[in-house]
Amino acid sequence: MVHRMGTLQRKTLMEDLFQDVIYPQRMHLLGYNKINNQTAMVDNDGHLSQLIVSIATGIPGTNKKGKTGDEPGDLKDGSEVKAAYRLDQKGGKEDAHIHFGKMNREQLEEFFTHATLYTVHHGLTVSGHYKCEIHKIDMTKTDVQNVCLAQIGAGKKDLQPRLYPDANRKVLAGAEGGWGLKALQAQLIARIIQTENDEAIIDVWSPQDPKPIEDGLKIKKKHLDLLGSPPEAPSKNPDLMGTKKGAKKFFQECILDYKNRLNRFTRLTNTTPMLGFSFLAQHLASMITGIKGENSKSDGDDLEGGGEVKEAFGEPWDEFSKGKDISRWNLTPKDKEKMMGEGENPWTKFVGLWFISRKNRMSVRVFSPEINHLHEQTKQYWEQFPDGTNLNIFMRGDYETITSFSHRIEEPICTLDCELLIHLRETDGVEIVE
């Protein structure tokens, strides 16, 4: 386990993580982005960044997605981890921030009890190389707390400190006294940079002796000379779009290979294996339907022209759920009009994916109901429950055969009868189950 490793062992492990897992995944996604226009963002939910901090610090994770039970934070010691991902964005934008979540004063003061906040910032060097910077913030400092409280006092409901100003890699956000990680007295504990040959150079490694945040603005010449040019993304065959062959290839390269390469690291850090599959589900939906995405990590439709993608993970007691919970597609009230076929931007396509894992072998089934059927069924539900919080479509029944899903077993008001678009199963390779 990572907490038994020395700092140099963990540094080598960090190099392995980036070279064996993160860089190959990023380059594959950049290649697929060229043909399906789905985002190439690797760490879409921040859980990969928790794993990165575990390796840097030697503090194990909680092996959970989110905070449940007795776990006080993202890591075993109660520390929090926040991430920002500002590379490979739509239109070349660079505008990521650390997202605390919406908080009032009482909630913020509760957040201070975590004592230590680690931030992981994925961005670009001035020369355009992917770099990952890890910072440590002491949340017990009165000055740090006052800065946060002042932001809440100024009427902000969500704290969003930046490391760099938008579209600027040369100066720190808040360098002149404004709001940013510098104002929170963040210190740099590690930096990893991708070379032309997809190697990881760790030019800052000081988990026990954090460096000034300003050290992230410079790179020594001996390290610059090793970087070369930013690596080029591989080309993918556009004829793969809208085919079972294309879906199978993506499932192998970007889901199975990624998961299997990650296994070693999730075990050593006690981190959940459910790392960042949401955007991968959108890629897979594009590959099987032939409908491109909008190259967005948050704004816009999942599929061009009003398509929506939802994913569910696990069945009771499998490697994903590790419990008796039934997985679901979660349809939220904010999309009520869209799913009912109303408003300015109604859903024109719905694709639902169901992933499971048995004996560490993953399968996915991809479904799509006829869109008018979806509109009618969801409208029946919301008319019956106008103040409902969520419409959960549960994954009940025999995984190998079921194609109909509902929000409850007895007298369901909303039932989605779906077409099975593809069933992919991990074997020694990938099998298309007919």
| Res. 355: pLDDT tops 70 | yes
> Quick one: pLDDT band at residue 317, thresholds 50, 70, 90?
low
| Res. 180: pLDDT tops 60 | yes
| Beta strands 211-212 and 187-194, pairing class | antiparallel
Prediction pTM value: 0.92
| Res. 188: pLDDT tops 60 | yes
> Quick one: pLDDT band at residue 177, thresholds 50, 70, 90?
low
Gap between the Cα atoms of 59 and 79, Å rounded: 9
| Res. 288: pLDDT tops 80 | yes
pLDDT for position 136: 98
Gap between the Cα atoms of 19 and 12, Å rounded: 11
Burial of 143 (0-12, 13-18, 19+ CB in 10 A): exposed
pLDDT tens string 114-138: 999 999 999 999 999 999 999 999 9
pLDDT for position 28: 97
Q: What is the mean pLDDT of residues 415-429?
A: 97
pLDDT for position 92: 79
In 10 A of CB 204, how many CB atoms? 20
| Res. 154: pLDDT tops 80 | no
Amino acid identity of 126?
V
Phi and psi of 166, rounded to 5°?
Answer: -55, 135
| Res. 296: pLDDT tops 80 | no
pLDDT for position 352: 98
Nearest of 297, 286, 300 to residue 251 by alpha carbon: 286
| Res. 69: pLDDT tops 60 | no
pLDDT tens string 14-55: 999 999 999 999 999 999 999 999 999 998 777 899 999 999
Q: What is the mean pLDDT of residues 199-203?
A: 98
Q: What is the mean pLDDT of residues 294-322?
A: 83
- The tokens for 40 are 């190439």
> Quick one: pLDDT band at residue 100, thresholds 50, 70, 90?
confident
Gap between the Cα atoms of 369 and 281, Å rounded: 17
| Res. 143: pLDDT tops 70 | yes
| Res. 103: pLDDT tops 60 | yes
- CA 293 to chain centroid, in Å, comes to 17
Gap between the Cα atoms of 379 and 413, Å rounded: 10
| Res. 328: pLDDT tops 60 | yes
More confident residue, 255 or 174: 255
> Quick one: pLDDT band at residue 158, thresholds 50, 70, 90?
confident
Please give the share of the chain, as a percent, with pLDDT higher than 70: 94
pLDDT tens string 386-412: 999 999 999 999 999 999 999 998 999
| Res. 153: pLDDT tops 80 | no
Residue whose tokens read 């499971």: 356
Q: What is the mean pLDDT of residues 88-109?
A: 84
**Size (the chain), residues:** 434
Q: For the chain, what are the domain ranges?
A: 2-227, 238-432
| Res. 140: pLDDT tops 70 | yes
User: Mean pLDDT across the chain, nearest whole number?
Assistant: 92
More confident residue, 320 or 413: 413
> Quick one: pLDDT band at residue 272, thresholds 50, 70, 90?
confident
Ramachandran quadrant class, 80 (left: phi over 0; alpha: psi -120 to 50; beta: rest): beta
Instruction: Using alpha carbons, list the distances in angstroms from residue 323 to 51, 71, 314, 409.
Output: 22, 17, 9, 20
pLDDT for position 89: 82
pLDDT for position 67: 53
